[in-house]
């Protein structure tokens, strides 16, 4: 089975902090994604990557950046955390269209 692992289940950070969310997949998938999930809004795409060192903006990239130095690892960076970035963050990987998700990181910015 595909395994997508996010480094933290819960995080609490202060406003203005730089935050790193890490994601690792073990299936040699080319594509990796970061979504945020908020009540009533479903999953919204922040950034995605088709290959190492490649990244593309999704629907809501403002306030975020990403890094993909190795194929199996895709990091989401909040340059200066704000309270409106309090959310559930979901990482996914896919070979083609079928995406597999990690367990999510619930981030609270105080």
Applying CB under 8 A, the residues found at the interface with other proteins are 4, 31, 33, 35, 40-45, 48, 50, 58, 90, 94, 96-104
> Least separation, in Å, of the C-beta of 15 and other proteins?
25
> Least separation, in Å, of the C-beta of 49 and other proteins?
11
* Tokens (6 digits) for 96: 């083609």
d(CA 20, CA 58): 18
> Least separation, in Å, of the C-beta of 56 and other proteins?
8
Looking at the Cβ atoms of 9 and 18, the one nearer to other proteins is 9
**What's 60's DSSP letter?**
-
Residue 52 · residue 30 · CB < 8 Å: no
Looking at the Cβ atoms of 75 and 93, the one nearer to other proteins is 93
Looking at the Cβ atoms of 54 and 110, the one nearer to other proteins is 54
Q: Which 3 state secondary structure label does DSSP give 83?
A: helix
Looking at the Cβ atoms of 58 and 63, the one nearer to other proteins is 58
* Tokens (6 digits) for 2: 């595909």
CA 101 to chain centre: 10
d(CA 31, CA 48): 7
> Least separation, in Å, of the C-beta of 76 and other proteins?
14
């Amino acid at each position: 089975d595909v395994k997508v692992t996010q480094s933290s289940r819960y995080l609490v950070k202060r406003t203005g902090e730089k935050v790193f969310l890490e994601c690792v997949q073990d299936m040699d998938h080319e594509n990796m994604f970061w979504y945020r999930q908020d009540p009533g809004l479903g999953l919204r795409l922040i950034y995605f990557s088709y290959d190492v060192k490649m990244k593309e903006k999704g629907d809501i990239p403002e306030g975020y950046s990403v890094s993909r130095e190795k194929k199996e690892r895709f990091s989401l960076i909040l340059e200066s955390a704000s309270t409106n970035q309090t959310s559930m963050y979901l990482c996914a990987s896919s070979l083609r269209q079928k995406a597999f998700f990690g367990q999510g990181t619930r981030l609270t910015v105080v």
